[in-house]
Amino acid sequence: MTVTATSFGTLAGKRAIVTGAGGGIGRASALALAAEGAAVAAVDISADAAAETARQIAAAGGRAIAITADISDPTDCERVVRDTVKALGGLEVLFNNAGIIRRADAIGTTVEEWDRVMAVNVRSIFLMCKYAVPVMAAAGGGSIINTGSGWGLKGGGNALSYCASKGAVVNMTRALAIDHGPAGIRVNSVNPGDTDTGMLRSEAAQLGEDPAAFLADAADRPLRRMGKPEEIAAAVVWLASDAASFVTGAALVVDGGGIA
């Protein structure tokens, strides 16, 4: 993966946590934040995937650590923040990106699947913020970015638990922005449309659809293509940077015009 520096402003001296950093938007964002000068804690449930992201950052001259964690677990979330501060010296940026999708309606979704989607997509953000916000507030502020979705702003078919979870992310982001703005903490959501990642490709299998036809349908938007992980990462870098210093509580849509 080729990483190029953005023009949105430097993150030199910043320390960042990226969850779901083992691939897709998470890895692209970890690399982009590092390219702008941030030291990054790459967090993933897969030890190998987290280590590979950290390795790529180090190979490009950046500073990174890998942390293996299940961010739906409060003990793991507390440890992620503690270990990041210990290893990197502080925390100014938190990108709550980890997420999963189950493509099914209410009848086809099991209770266990519903609970797992809500745990990974929603509970994890609450937990990471619970432990990260005091650290940021004590240091004078920071930036939190949460991964929502176009389906957090409008409905979608055969994705009940995912739509519900991402709608919760968007409004939870607004509530966090209100609560913690006085402490200098900005909280925003980035809301991608269909992006060329492994998770998107897994949806075709879940739905039993032809992968080529599924991906062609995903490109049916004004820009006539899917997004690239690096394009979502550029928005994350901007929200993390001082260039977005007066932006909080926003739901930034990065979807090639998909919900326009």
Of 143, 129, 148, 127, the closest CA to residue 71 belongs to: 127
Q: Using alpha carbons, list the distances in angstroms from residue 188 to 108, 176, 197, 218.
A: 32, 9, 22, 25
Q: In the annotation, is 131 catalytic?
A: no
Residue 21, token pair as written in the block: 């950093």
Token reading at 68: 């293996």
Q: Which of 124, 162, 233, 235 is catalytic?
A: 162
Just list the catalytic residues. Answer: 162
